[in-house]
Structure 1
Amino acid sequence: MNKSFEIGTLLLRVVTGIIFFVHGLSKFTAMEGTIQFFGSIGLPSFMAYVIATIELVGGVLVFFGLATRIVGVLFALTLLGAIFTVKLKAPFMGNSEFDYLLLVASIHLALSGSRFLALDSFVFKAKKEENVSA
């Protein structure tokens, strides 16, 4: 991959990680309201914890470049759920376009990963070197 692509993906990864972390944190700090909202759209209350955890922990992982592809898939599934349960009623109104943009960013991260300044690169490089020298 060329350097421009890697830098662009790094920027996308870091910003996406921050956004999801903040959204997960806000869900946890107002969990009663989050549970009520999930109930109002027909989702069981435990899903509020699942989604908040994916956003909070996944945001940190993606920010640092750990398990980027896996978390990208989880983010994309979370966003598809949000779009189909809430946002599809008024597409491209309010902040729903933000969800579509995050969906595309998540799909990009799931497909391409992010190696530039990612901890995965250092972790797996060290493991690969151990396997070669053994």
Structure 2
Amino acid sequence: MLDLRTAPYGALALRVALGVLFLAHAGLKIFVFTPAGTVGFFGQLGLPAFVAYATIAAEVAGGAALILGVWARLVSLALVPVLLGTIVLVHGAKGFFFTAAGGGWEFPAFWALALVVQALLGDGAHALVRSPALPSRAVA
């Protein structure tokens, strides 16, 4: 059973937590690794420089949009490929557990799943710009 009184606040908490995680990871790429270092790392993965910049931009814009509640359902789905790319290109071969050397794929997989859950839950409480409503179906 879904408690309709508290569910919007659960979606809000998840939305803000996901947004903060994206901003933190963007900050890591900008302030710690630097954009040039991030481009270099992506280059070692065989990716062109624009993918590194696009990833940083997606993390900043997506994180801010999630925190503010701007089309959170759509933004959540749009960010899933960023994490799937992380799993496939960076963490997949290192094993499941994120405590493995270089980090395994458990955390990015959980994070991607949390984004899907956010998309299913909707925008939550205090969203600035609500996502378009999903079509409803009557259940007999």
Q: TM-score range by the shorter chain?
A: 0.7 to 0.9
- Assess if the C-alpha contact under 8 Å between 2:55 and 2:82 holds in 1: yes
User: Is the helix fraction higher in 1 or 2?
Assistant: 1
Q: Structure 1 pair 8/91, CA: closer, same or farther in 2 (3 Å)?
A: farther
Question: 1:129 — aligned with what?
Answer: none
Q: Deviations over 1:101-133 (max 9, x none)?
A: 110111112233213111124xx9xxxxxxxxx
Structure 2 unaligned segments of length 5 or more: list them.
133-140
Structure 1 unaligned segments of length 5 or more: list them.
125-134
| 2:24 alignment partner AA | V
Return the alpha-carbon distance in structure 2 between the equivalents of residues 20 and 31 of structure 1.
16
Which of 68, 71, 78 is the matching residue for 1:67? 71
Task: Report the CA distance between 1:8 and its aligned residue.
Answer: 1.4
Question: 2:15 — aligned with what?
Answer: 13
What are the within-5 Å matches in structure 2 for residues 48-59 of structure 1?
A: 48-59=52-63
Question: 2:82 — aligned with what?
Answer: 78
TM-score, normalised to structure 2, is 0.79
Which of 104, 108, 118 is the matching residue for 1:99? 108
Task: Report the CA distance between 1:53 and its aligned residue.
Answer: 0.4
Question: 1:118 — aligned with what?
Answer: 127
- Percent sequence identity over matched residues? 33
| 1:88 alignment partner AA | G
| 1:86 alignment partner AA | V
Return the alpha-carbon distance in structure 1 between the equivalents of residues 38 and 67 of structure 2.
24
Question: 2:138 — aligned with what?
Answer: none
- Assess if the C-alpha contact under 8 Å between 2:18 and 2:63 holds in 1: yes
Return the alpha-carbon distance in structure 1 between the equivalents of residues 114 and 68 of structure 2.
16
Return the alpha-carbon distance in structure 1 between the equivalents of residues 71 and 95 of structure 2.
31
Q: Secondary structure at the match of 1:86?
A: helix
Task: Report the CA distance between 1:24 and its aligned residue.
Answer: 1.2
